[in-house]
């Protein structure tokens, strides 16, 4: 049998554990005699279509071992939506020309909802044209908003970083004997999964955050101010977690409808939602208000990654290889929680078409009546996902990360 | 001999390892038969003067063991400058009245430059009035701006968090094939020690940050834009670290002189310096500019603390007890680096008066010619301070912190 090569690509935002999925793919492919080279798209499909290809087969063992602990994505990514091939065949022709040239039999595309749309479309085209190639999706997103799967690799590590940092901020916010409010912003443009994870920061010794506001609920500034005001009757330091995508009752982002700030050049500034909410507290309740944004740290903090998350990221990569070798195509891996106590997951396979472009909101059953927090049921859902520590390889007690293939 | 009690207090901002200094004091005091109770000022001198006292002797062993890993300050702090007693004796009368009532023979005051002023003044008053009490300073500050001491407990952990996070952000910033600039802001209103520590994020695989701007150098926006512009000819992603206290050639804060932003209520917004610099890049060089602020995480991230820092914080607490027991008063502990290879420090003692209210700038010898970075000599200075990992006690893989004495 003639040996073929495989191709790994990614699209969408990075996570702390995407490289672990690559490692899962690479390790499993290497056990397979029929696959020779492991190519990667440099900067996702967009880079690949420009001919940007990396040969990961050459990467040495030490570097490969570092993948499990390296955040971001060493091969790069893109935000690129491939058109329907009935509308525009150009990308497809280019893609399969390159695939043929590189003798690629298997494609692994790591990503979220949009990436699964790409998997679906490329697979459909290949089937229609009778191109013998297997294309499989590998899930990742810190947003945790893919449907079908119980949760997404990348989410657990972001959740752990958020919970850990909120614990630390909550303690920091209580050192002075003054009323103060900390507004802490997480990512989550459409869904509240990340903000909700901050509930884990609460324990018997200190309940914090006091409130969590989610994009799934209509956000009312007056209710928010009232919540904080009431809580301030009981305690001096208030910690609030807000999801960046908070919307008002008309479905408008709070940032868009309430920011009139202008910068130096008279541009309208669209700050974060936490920053936007600062004056509503400062002018009504207390002068000491701070907005804190976790920014890209929440998706890049490999030093605070979840062991469970990292292992699952590896696992979905491994299973993706088994899937293509079994002749499957057009599917994506997903996680099924078969048991919560003890926590146990199985990798299942779902048609990429089914999850493509869909968004899984935080279900109502997890949100409290007052719409300013999440309940115990959600805690039970998220807690297993942040378990396990990871051994970080160090040089001088700073993380030893793998070299980025995107940097010359 | 009649048993006496001791009193611990703190003033100024918290760090990731202040509680470790308390543990050093507590452990050493407990070995001493002549000291009975360990009191703490709740919310520093300010709280104490209102009669707010905590009895740490009652704290159980498990809770005490958690101190080494708990950020913030479990007893609280204040920002309170005690007046000269020749001007106003009121605080002194109250302080020594409480001290007598609680039968306190030894006072440990943990803090930075301003706190050492308090140590000096209280000690001078006691000497003048013939009050037989020993008052000693224990150094802490993430800013690292105390004179005499080689470095300050608290700084190493903040430096480690900053270096680690910049490494992660640098990788995250290179995943898309687009020009982009990340402006990362550290604390440091008067000095650049914290910003400078980000130099450790650079290694052979990836040089980042590209530039570090310090309050010790006059900051020119046009030079900054030119630096970034030139670097952008070589690479797409630029990472810049700025100290919050950047000043222009006239000594004005960049934030004050360049922010014309107004918020919702038409208040002038004094944003961070990174945020203030965003439009200068966005309107001249590239649209994708992000400002990131490490905020209180840099002083609270116990999960990323330096082992060396934590041990030294403990050590200065321990030595402070030995000092008062030897009959000394009015001094502060300080660290002397007796060797850099292998790294070795000794605790020395300095009159609190000598360091009070002084500020140690980052020396010129560490700053590069272009005033946009620091040199190898500084790296050699800071690297030993971030060494060593700390065993974090976990509950469900989230930090198990000690209970705050400031929370009812």
Cβ pair A174:B72 closer than 8 A: yes
Cα–Cα distance between A45 and A213 in angstroms, integer? 36
Whether B143 is catalytic is: yes
Query: Are B308 and B188 part of one and the same domain?
Result: no
Nearest-by-CA chain A residue for B291: A295
CB pairs under 8 A between A and B: 228
Question: Would you state the pLDDT for residue A3?
Answer: 86
Q: Which of B171, B177, B401 sits opposite A78 (nearest CB)?
A: B177
Q: Report the number of distinct structural domains present in chain A.
A: 2
pLDDT of residue A2: 72
B55 and B123 housed in the same domain: yes
Q: List pLDDT tens digits, range B317-346.
A: 999 999 999 999 999 999 999 999 999 999
Contact across the interface for B168 and A260, Cβ inside 8 Å:
no
Among the partner-chain residues A47, A165, A261, the one whose CB lies closest to the CB of B263 is A261
Among A174, A386, A403, the residue with its CB nearest the CB of B397 is A386
Tell me which of B13, B19, B175 to substitute to probe the interface with A (most A C-beta atoms closer than 10 Å): B175
CA–CA min distance B205, chain A (Å): 6
**Nearest residue, CB atoms, A297 vs list B79, B165, B300:** B165
B72:A265 CB<8 A: no
pLDDT digits (tens, 9 = 90+) for A280-289: 999 999 999 9
Within a domain: A408: no
In a domain, B404, yes or no: no
**Looking at the structure, do residues A330 and A250 belong to the same domain, yes or no?**
no
Which residue of chain A has the CA closest to B408? Answer: A235
- Residues of chain B with Cβ-Cβ distance to A395 below 8 Å are 203
For tokens 């038969």, name the residue: B33
Please report the ipTM that was assigned to this predicted complex: 0.97
Question: Is B201 close to A292, i.e. CB distance below 8 A?
Answer: no
B265 or A366, greater pLDDT: A366
Is B156 in contact with B386 (CB distance < 8 Å)? yes
* Cβ pair A160:B397 closer than 8 A: yes
Residue contact A168–B258, C-beta within 8 A: no
pTM of the model: 0.97
Residue in A closest to B284 by C-alpha: A265
More confident residue, A350 or A389: A350
Q: Residue B307 pLDDT > 90, yes or no?
A: yes
CA nearest B305 in A: which residue? Answer: A397
Assess contact for B240 and B219: CB atoms under 8 A: no
Lookup: tokens for A55: 């040969």
Mean predicted confidence (pLDDT) in A161-166: 98
Among the listed residues B91, B117, B143, B227, the single catalytic one is: B143
Residues B192-245 have pLDDT tens digits of 999 999 999 999 999 999 999 999 999 999 999 999 999 999 999 999 999 999
Among A298, A318, A335, the domain boundary falls at A298
Do residues B308 and B296 share a domain?
no
In this complex, the residue of A174, A283, A297 whose CB is nearest that of residue B168 is: A297
Q: Which domain holds residue B259?
A: 161-300
Kindly report the CATH number assigned to the domain that includes residue B238.
Answer: 3.40.50.460
Radius of gyration, CA atoms only, chain B? 23
Bridge pairing between strands A237-243 and A211-213:
parallel
User: A367 in a domain, yes or no?
Assistant: no
Residues A284 and A214 grouped into a single domain: yes
Do B174 and B220 fall into the same domain?
A: yes
Interface touch B165/A301, C-beta < 8 Å: yes
Peptide bond into A364 cis (omega under 30): no
Report if residue B379 sits inside a domain: no
- Which residue in B has a C-alpha nearest to residue A206's C-alpha? B403
CB A63 within 8 A of CB A402: yes
Confidence of residue A390 (pLDDT cuts 50, 70, 90): confident
The Cα–Cα gap between A4 and A98 comes to 14
Which chain B residue has the Cα nearest residue A162?
B398
A180 token code pair: 């103060």
User: How far lies B343's CA from each of B84, B152, B346, in Å?
Assistant: 40, 15, 11
Same domain, A137 and A194: no
8 Å CB contact between A166 and A209: yes
Distance from CA of B208 to the nearest CA of A (A): 12
Cα dist. B30→A184, A399, B34 in Å?
40, 38, 9
β A53-55/A35-41 pair status: antiparallel
Verify cis geometry, omega within 30 degrees of 0, for the bond prior to A93: no
Query: Do the chains contact at A258 and B264, CB–CB below 8 Å?
Result: yes
Q: Is A216 within the bounds of a domain? A: yes
Write out chain B residues lying below 8 Å of A303, CB-based.
Answer: 164, 168, 304
Measured between beta carbons, the chain A residues lying within 8 angstroms of B79 are 176
Q: Which residues of A touch B267 (CB under 8 A)?
A: 279
The DSSP symbol for A16 reads S
CB B111 within 8 A of CB B317: no
B174, B260, B267 member nearest A404 (Cβ): B174
pLDDT at B263: 47
pLDDT tier at A229, thresholds 50, 70, 90: very high
Domain containing residue B86: CATH number: 3.40.50.450
A291 and A310 inside one domain: no
pLDDT of A326 over the 80 cut: yes
Per-residue pLDDT band at B270 (split at 50, 70, 90): low
* Cβ contact B78–A259 (<8 Å): no
Task: With respect to residue A127, please indicate whether it lies within any of the assigned structural domains.
Answer: yes
CA distance A205 to B59: 14
Distance, CA of A136 to CA of B406 (rounded, Å): 54
Residue A369 lies in a domain: no
DSSP H helical ranges for B139-210 = 155-172, 193-197
Alpha carbons B57 and B61: distance in angstroms, whole number: 10
User: What mean pLDDT comes out for the span A384-388?
Assistant: 98
* Higher pLDDT pick, A257 / B129: B129
Q: Which two tokens stand for residue A33?
A: 């005699």
Asked if residues B164 and B304 have their Cβ atoms less than 8 Å apart, the reply is yes
B58 shares its domain with B165 = no
Rounded Cα distance, B46 and A368, in Å:
40
Q: What are residue A55's DSSP bridge partners?
A: A39
Strand runs labelled E in B140-287: 180-186, 211-213, 237-243
Mark which of A298, A320, A348 sits at the end of a domain.
Answer: A298
Give pLDDT, residue B408.
75
Structure tokens at A72: 């971001």
Give how far the C-alpha of residue B318 lies from the chain's centroid of Cα atoms, to the nearest Å.
19
Q: Which of B303, B383, B406 comes nearest A396 by C-beta?
A: B383
B300/A399 touch (CB, cutoff 8 Å), yes or no: no
Residues of chain B with Cβ-Cβ distance to A404 below 8 Å are: 171, 174, 205-206
What residue spans of B67-131 are helical by DSSP H?
90-101, 113-129
The pLDDT mean for chain B works out to 95
For residue range B381-403, what is the model confidence (pLDDT) as tens digits? 999 999 998 889 999 999 999 99
Q: Mind telling me the catalytic residues of A?
A: 143
Record: contact A300-B171, CB cut-off 8 A: yes
**Is A264 in Cβ contact with B261 (below 8 Å)?**
yes
Predicted confidence (pLDDT) at residue A269 exceeds the cutoff of 70: no
Task: Assess whether B294 and B351 both reside in one domain.
Answer: no
What 8-state DSSP symbol labels residue B304? Answer: G
Q: Which residues of B touch A280 (CB under 8 A)?
A: 264
Query: How high is the pLDDT of residue A384?
Result: 98
Residue A245 pLDDT class (50, 70, 90 cuts): very high
The three-state secondary structure class of A388 is: coil
Rounded to an integer, what distance in angstroms lies between the CA atom of residue A268 and that of residue A261?
Answer: 6
H or E element that contains A229: helix A221-231
Q: To which residue do tokens 């297993």 refer?
A: A384
Same domain, B15 and B145: yes
* Residue finishing a domain among A250, A265, A298: A298
User: What's the average model confidence in pLDDT over B253-258?
Assistant: 84
Q: Which chain A residues contact residue B42 at CB under 8 A?
A: 177
Rounded Cα–Cα distance for residues A196 and B57 (Å): 38
Alpha-carbon radius of gyration of chain A: 23
pLDDT bracket for residue A256 (50, 70, 90): confident
Closest Cα in chain A, distance from residue B88 (Å): 24
Q: Do B177 and A79 touch (CB under 8 A)?
A: no
Burial B154-177 (b: 16+ CB within 10 A, else e): bbbbbbbbbbbbbbbbbbbbbbbb
Chain A residues with CB under 8 Å of B280 CB are 264
Span A86-102, mean pLDDT?
97
Closest CB to B387 among A174, A205, A396: A396
In A, minimum Cα distance to B205 occurs at: A403
Residue B188: strand, helix, or coil: coil
Pairing of strands B331-340, B343-351: antiparallel
Burial of A160 from C-beta contacts in 10 A (0-12 / 13-18 / 19+): buried
Domain co-membership, B178 together with B280: yes
Instruction: Give the minimum alpha-carbon distance from B408 to chain A in angstroms, rounded to a whole number.
Output: 9
- Whether A242 maps to a domain, the answer reads yes
Residue A104 has a pLDDT of 98
Decide if A163 and B398 are in contact by the 8 Å CB cutoff: yes
């Amino acid at each position: 049998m003639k040996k073929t090569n495989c191709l790994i690509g990614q699209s969408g935002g990075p996570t702390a554990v995407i490289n672990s999925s690559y490692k899962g793919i690479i390790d499993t492919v290497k056990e397979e005699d029929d696959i020779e080279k492991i190519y990667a798209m440099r900067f996702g499909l967009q880079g690949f279509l420009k001919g940007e290809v990396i040969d990961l087969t050459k990467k040495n063992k030490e570097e490969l071992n570092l993948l499990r602990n390296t955040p971001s994505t060493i091969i790069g990514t893109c935000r690129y939506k491939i058109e329907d091939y009935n509308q525009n065949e150009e990308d497809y022709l280019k893609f399969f020309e390159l695939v043929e040239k590189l003798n690629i039999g298997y494609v692994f595309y790591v990503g979220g909802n949009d990436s699964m749309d790409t998997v679906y479309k490329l697979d459909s085209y290949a089937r229609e044209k009778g191109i013998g190639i297997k294309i499989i999706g590998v899930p990742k997103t810190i947003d945790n908003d893919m449907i079908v799967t119980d949760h997404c690799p990348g989410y657990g590590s972001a959740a752990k970083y958020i919970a850990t940092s909120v614990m630390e901020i909550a303690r920091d916010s209580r050192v002075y004997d003054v009323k103060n409010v900390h507004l802490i912003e997480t990512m989550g443009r459409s869904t509240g999964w990340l903000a909700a994870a901050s509930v884990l920061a609460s324990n018997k010794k200190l309940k914090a955050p006091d409130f969590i506001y989610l994009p799934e609920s209509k956000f009312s500034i007056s209710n928010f101010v009232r919540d904080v005001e009431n809580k301030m009757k009981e305690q001096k330091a208030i910690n609030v977690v807000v999801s960046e995508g908070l919307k008002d009752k008309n479905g408008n982002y709070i940032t868009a409808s309430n920011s009139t700030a202008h910068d130096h050049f008279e541009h309208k500034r669209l700050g974060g939602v936490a920053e936007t909410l600062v004056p509503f507290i400062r002018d009504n309740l207390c002068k000491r208000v701070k907005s804190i944004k976790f920014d890209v740290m929440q998706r890049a903090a490999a030093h605070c990654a979840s062991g469970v998350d990292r292992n699952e990221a590896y696992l979905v990569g491994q299973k993706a290889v088994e899937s293509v070798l079994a002749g499957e195509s057009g599917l994506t891996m997903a996680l099924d929680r078969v048991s919560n106590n003890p926590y146990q997951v199985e990798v299942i396979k779902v048609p990429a078409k089914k999850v493509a472009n869909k968004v899984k909101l935080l279900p109502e059953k997890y949100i409290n009546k007052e719409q300013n927090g999440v309940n115990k049921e959600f805690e039970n859902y998220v807690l297993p996902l942040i378990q396990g520590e990871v051994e970080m390889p160090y040089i001088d007690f700073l993380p030893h990360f793998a070299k980025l293939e995107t940097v010359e």
